[in-house]
Amino acid sequence: MGAGSSILGADGEWGETSLGDMPESCVAAVLLYLDPPEICQVARLNRAFRGAASADCVWAVKLPANYRYLAALAAAADDEGRSEGDGNGKRFSLAATKKEIYARLCRPTLFDAGRKEFWILKNKGGLCISISSKAMTITGIDDRRYWSHLATEESRFHSVAYLQQIWWLEVDGELEFCFPAGSYSLFFHLHLGRPYRRMGRRFCATEHVHGWDVTPTRFQLSTSDEQQATSEYYLHLHEQGGWKLYRVGDFVVSNSDEPTKLKFSMMQIDCTHTKGGLCVDSVFIYPKGYKPEKANIVCV
């Protein structure tokens, strides 16, 4: 089907129409059925599509239900960054267009002193959160005999906690956040062995890896409305392949305007043996069913 068609004009002459002759309101009604990346693509067709692709009515339905809460966090983070000397780029405002708000929320926003981060997915607008190991309570973390912090570009936070050896492993974390209504999955992002680079190549030191084949590591999740999930994994079975996302469980949010309190943990407290050689990067929360590109997900 072509972009134009013939019609009979009032003067009896046949004329040509094209997509550019469509009213913006009609174009906007069509764009409501497209995902955000597709909307941006068709905006290149002509002026009518470009105008409709920027309309608030199109983007309002793509935004999370509580986008004002998320946008306020993003604006506060931007203001804090500017006060610390990072004045690059246009200042984000809550008075921005819905398209501008969507684009800003797709970019990661740090909060809780830079130890946590949220963003929305470009395709569907689902909320994602990452929580650094520095935001968690880790038994023995301040004792250099057991733990150390490794700088690495393989982490969103550029640092991971590395366990050399310990008898009692316990990592606990909490989060209070207003999630858009929906179902979510929580994962621990872990790596057996110590990754490093030399001469531009990636290597993994495994001399400290031990103790994960004796007792499974237990992961737990609970919410303020009494949802609970538990999973167990023998980490040594997943040693090869680099970073892994260990699925802890799912939870459901029904009210976007009320904060949900989460508690999560991983434990291996069998003190009959030591365990070591583990990198703890972060905890990820994704919309249920979403699989990050190139992610290695481990689930029960």
Report, as an integer, the average pLDDT of 127-136: 98
Sign of the alpha-carbon dihedral angle for 243, 245, 248, 254: positive
Q: Which of 4-13, 86-95, 245-254 has the lowest mean pLDDT?
A: 4-13
pLDDT, averaged across the chain: 89
Contact 267, 169 (CB under 8 A): yes
Higher pLDDT, 134 or 299: 134
Q: What 3-state DSSP class applies to 219?
A: strand
Q: Give the pLDDT confidence of 247-258 residue by residue, as tens digits.
A: 999 999 999 999
Residues forming a β-bridge with 187: 247, 284
Instruction: Write down the pLDDT at residue 268.
Output: 96
Instruction: Write down the pLDDT at residue 95.
Output: 78
User: 188 pLDDT exceeds 50?
Assistant: yes
User: 90 pLDDT exceeds 70?
Assistant: no
Q: Which of 37-41, 96-100, 208-212, 239-243 has the lowest mean pLDDT?
A: 239-243
Higher pLDDT, 13 or 269: 269
Question: Quick one: what percent of the chain has pLDDT higher than 70?
Answer: 88
CA 46 – CA 37 distance, rounded (Å): 17
Contact 147, 163 (CB under 8 A): yes
Half-sphere exposure of 151 (CA within 13 A, CB side): 0
Q: What is the pTM of this model?
A: 0.88
Report, as an integer, the average pLDDT of 116-144: 96
Task: Give me the count of residues in the chain.
Answer: 300
Question: Which listed CATH number (2.60.120.260, 3.90.580.10, 3.20.20.60, 3.40.50.970) goes with 127-298?
Answer: 2.60.120.260
Q: Give the pLDDT confidence of 208-223 residue by residue, as tens digits.
A: 999 999 999 999 999 9
User: 5 pLDDT exceeds 50?
Assistant: no
Report, as an integer, the average pLDDT of 143-151: 95
Structure tokens at 179: 């999630």
pLDDT confidence band for 44 (50 / 70 / 90): confident
Contact 9, 21 (CB under 8 A): no
User: 293 pLDDT exceeds 60?
Assistant: yes
DSSP 135: G
User: 174 pLDDT exceeds 50?
Assistant: yes
Domain limits, the chain: 24-62, 127-298
Instruction: Write down the pLDDT at residue 6.
Output: 46
CA 245 – CA 282 distance, rounded (Å): 10
| Burial (0-12, 13-18, 19+ Cβ within 10 Å), 73 | middle
Report, as an integer, the average pLDDT of 57-80: 93
pLDDT confidence band for 2 (50 / 70 / 90): very low
Residue found by looking up tokens 């999955």 in the block: 185
Rounded to a whole number of angstroms, the CA Rg of the chain reads: 24
Higher pLDDT, 12 or 192: 192
Distances from the Cα of 37 to the Cαs of 48, 87, 104, 123, 166, in angstroms?
18, 28, 14, 6, 47
CA 99 – CA 157 distance, rounded (Å): 28
